[in-house]
Structure 1
Amino acid sequence: MPPNSRFPELLTNREGQTCILRPIAPAPIHHTPHPKTIQQQLESHINDRDEDYSSALGFTRASGGRSALPSLYNSEDVICLQVELAHQMENGQALQDQCLQMEETAKQTDMLNKSLIHEVQQCHGQIQSLSLQVRRLASLNGNQSDEIAALRSQIMNEAWREYRNTETFQRRQLSFSAYRLKLTEVEKLRKKVKEQDNQLFKASAHLEELSREQKSLKCQNRQAMEQIESLQWHEKILLDHIKLLEGGGAVSQPQPEQDVCDVGKLVSDLQSGTVLDQTDSRDRGFGFSSIAIEANSAITLQDQGDA
């Protein structure tokens, strides 16, 4: 607290109680008086002292005037010295007052220092207690960190298990979806196989029909070959008959030429693959005998029985 402060301050003693310090009185302000007033004061003081000395020595005043003792205090040097002495006395008194004030401020500062030391000791104790609490909290934090690490490891293990479970579930789901896809593919293949079976059945039926047609064509070809052979035989007969007729000279020529043309046309039709069903008309045109007709009919009946 500054020495010239007029405001009180709060202090705490060793018992922890607060007390209000009284404000320190300000230092007195010294006014230097006028030299004339100082001189008058000194003259009055010297006169009083001279009277005391003269009365003590036995000198009397003449008609109530000043004493007969010669005054040595009228010189200017003495007056200046007296003024300086008065100033020094006043300054000494002021210094004494300041020393007293400084002693009071020193006492107050001692009290303040003691209170501050007490507060520092209290703060040191609080700091020690706080350090103990911090250590306890650090130990608790270490334990909690260990627990947190254990919980983290447990959570990681659980997450890994869940991930494995989800992975196995996904694998199972994928395998099930693949199995379903395979089933659908198998069903499609079955449908295709059924369609192919149907197509094969149709193809087999068609082949049977073709085989039947082939057999009928073979029969027809056989009949045609037999007809060709019979026609060749009839042609030979006709050629022999023509030779006989030419040798006799009584028969006209146009009839055999027409028959030869008909025979050539019939041979060309048989070579091209056409079936000749006009055997009766040809037999009538060529004048086939009844024995050839019966042989052809017997061959056709036998082929039909084989078919």
Structure 2
Amino acid sequence: MDILILGGTVFVGRGVAEAALARNHRVTLFHRGSKGTGIVPGADEILGDRDGGLDALKGRKWDAVVDACGYVPRVVGASARSLRESADRYLFVSTISVYEERDGELREFPVEAPVGIEEITGETYGPLKIECEREVLAAWGDKGTIVRPGLVYGPHDPTNRFPYWVGRFLHGGEVLVPDVLDNPLQQIDARDLGNFIVLLLEKDLPGTYDAVGEPSTFGETIAACHELNLGALPVYADAEALEKVSVTYWQDLPLVTGELSPMMSIHPEAALAAGLERRSLKETTQDTAAWIQETGIPENPRYGMSREREREALQALRAGP
């Protein structure tokens, strides 16, 4: 197959590109070049900006398009319509954040009314993504496919959500850990997500698929990271203690929320039936550790505390009120 990937140089898109190449498909990446070129060896590249620069793709033909970097409905809609005659299938990478919890159940955000803004925040991310889905399906009908990943983890993760914990335990010493070990957590390796997306293209499958990892807990993630360096010492603190030292869930301590969210307990029946396969937490942890040891944590990560700030928080916790 000839596959065009919008994006393809960062994490999820990179996982798709590498999976497609490993399965002997031809891959073209359309990206701005902001992360550099040659990131995915073996892939062709076309440099351009999808927001107003789609002319760079005119006259080309592919078997399928994977939209791995669509967040704004206006931009996604333009891409979907522009490429309608250039491929046979359009797969859009969405998110499980299109769901919201209502009355203890997960339901899709209503799409009758547009969000009306393009700024991506925690409040707009899900509604914007479901509008993007609607744009794709309006243009492509049953030749459009939607994949909704959960939390994605593994090597090359620029967010630092999972790498934060891997890196902290690798470094050793005291590791500040929130005492919410029973909280449910589902994470899918970017490489498994990439393989699944390519499989859907090979099978030419329409539909919407929740692509999430095996049911797990935050405690199992901490245990897998601790196995990397048993000399590290977890220091557990509850929510009240962390609040007193101004340490926050999710931002400072990634992967942690204060509530038991059903968003972390999704059953991906359709994806499993279509062939989704998921590697073990242990394997992803070990591979992420190898990546960190080779390249280091990305600069200015979005999530996690510096070691200096963590040390200050630990000292404040020991000092008490």
TM-score by length of structure 1 reads: 0.14
The structure number with the bigger radius of gyration is 1
Please state which structure has a larger fraction of its residues in strand: 2
TM-score by length of structure 2 reads: 0.14
